[in-house]
Structure 1
């Protein structure tokens, strides 16, 4: 109950923002009125806290609200959901070149700049196909939460970190990882390193939860506990 206890009252999103979520955000559509009001409050606080910067692209209310929606969905089970290890979101129209890595990216979490960066074209690909287990917003925001858990001593971060440590033990176990690989459920990028493994897992958790639970029930449950998520909210009513 304390996860969604707001002692100073819940903030109300402008109706235009609520309509954007209702028309464009599958997860939001299936929430109860009470859950929607909680979701609205968190989107409001997210938009209030973080700066949005467009690089050759307009930062309009639709883009800001949709990005906020994915972050709020990912953290909906956490009491402390707004973190301080990023301050801004940078949006590019398409794949962009990073002078820091000297490579092209679809998205990244840049710890030095305290920024989460997105190609809007690639964000939309994940947004419009919510069952292909590829979602740029979920992927990059998971990186944010991972790094936050490594540094923070707040309870939500501690729970996240404790569950991830158990996942990392799986990642280091060649026998267990080969068994997971043989199922061909996660794409190959999941096996690059521990960070990508976690981000890919969260993409699958939200996009194909029933398949995830069937294929890898123990890992599914560990993921659910890591973000303290109410499993009922994953499925269509």
Structure 2
């Protein structure tokens, strides 16, 4: 997996030299009551995060999901085309970016939804999700498992969307969010004491994959942040607060968003 990230980093660093102008997107879209109802039922069947939101925030969440989905091309591999699957995958991106102004991950135009775990370039290792220059890849079987099991702090959708958000803002620099960039830099500089504590105590609330590299520390931390926010806050309060700042949201609260305009 680390080699994959090195290839991805090399792609961006060798091809992008100047940041694009930030993109701004309207919060209110012209969606019908029927569309809102359809999306709410689909999202609510999987996302307890969505069900906790008050009505005005649910409308905002659906609006963003609708726009995100409309801006991407979905490819289905090993399963039939499914609008519900596209809605759910889009909703996972909105969950991660709900507190940010620029949430579209504009660099990524294609999302690949696969039926199960898969191989890349004839590698022996099986993947359940990854982010590459050509798009975001997710195993839908493991996507659903991630949202159905909240006891293991494993959620492939949150994990990969966290990677995609980072790459969109720092490598592609396309449709960047200034709040996220500033606070992620603070987040990355604050991880030293957290990592030192883990090494000293030889244990962590996060699963061991978090300590592969800084990219994985970020993505695995995001998984725990959304999967079991109370557990992360109790066990690693400094990390929890840092994630609240960088994503401008607190999943424990019903409204989620901390500041309306970061």
**Residue 35 of structure 1: aligned partner:** 57
Counterpart mapping for 1:59-208 below 5 A: 59-99=81-121, 103-111=125-133, 113=134, 115-151=135-171, 152=173, 156=177, 158-171=178-191, 173=192, 176-180=194-198, 182=201, 183-208=203-228
Q: TM-score, normalised by structure 2?
A: 0.78
Q: Which of 236, 240, 252 is 1:220 aligned to?
A: 240
Q: Per-residue displacement from partner, 1:120-147 (whole Å, max 9, x unpaired)? A: 2211210211232100000000001111
Distance verdict in 2 for CA 1:10–1:93, change over 3 Å: same
Looking at structure 1, the residues matched to 241 and 117 of structure 2 have their Cα atoms a distance apart, in angstroms, of 34
**Residue 18 of structure 1: aligned partner:** 40
Looking at structure 1, the residues matched to 136 and 237 of structure 2 have their Cα atoms a distance apart, in angstroms, of 31
Looking at structure 1, the residues matched to 90 and 176 of structure 2 have their Cα atoms a distance apart, in angstroms, of 22
Q: TM-score, normalised by structure 1?
A: 0.86
**How far did 1:148 drift?**
1.6
Q: How many aligned residue pairs are there?
A: 227
**How far did 1:165 drift?**
2.4
Q: Secondary structure at the match of 1:105?
A: coil
| Structure 2 unmatched runs, 5+ | 1-24, 257-262
**Residue 233 of structure 1: aligned partner:** 254
Looking at structure 2, the residues matched to 8 and 41 of structure 1 have their Cα atoms a distance apart, in angstroms, of 6
Distance verdict in 2 for CA 1:116–1:153, change over 3 Å: closer
Is residue 10–residue 37 contact of structure 1 (8 Å, CA) maintained in 2?
A: no
User: Which one is further off, 81-90 or 14-23?
Assistant: 14-23
**How far did 1:168 drift?**
2.6
**How far did 1:160 drift?**
2.0
Distance verdict in 2 for CA 1:187–1:33, change over 3 Å: same
Could you say what the CA RMSD is over the residues aligned between the two structures, in angstroms?
2.5
Distance verdict in 2 for CA 1:101–1:164, change over 3 Å: farther
Looking at structure 2, the residues matched to 217 and 83 of structure 1 have their Cα atoms a distance apart, in angstroms, of 28
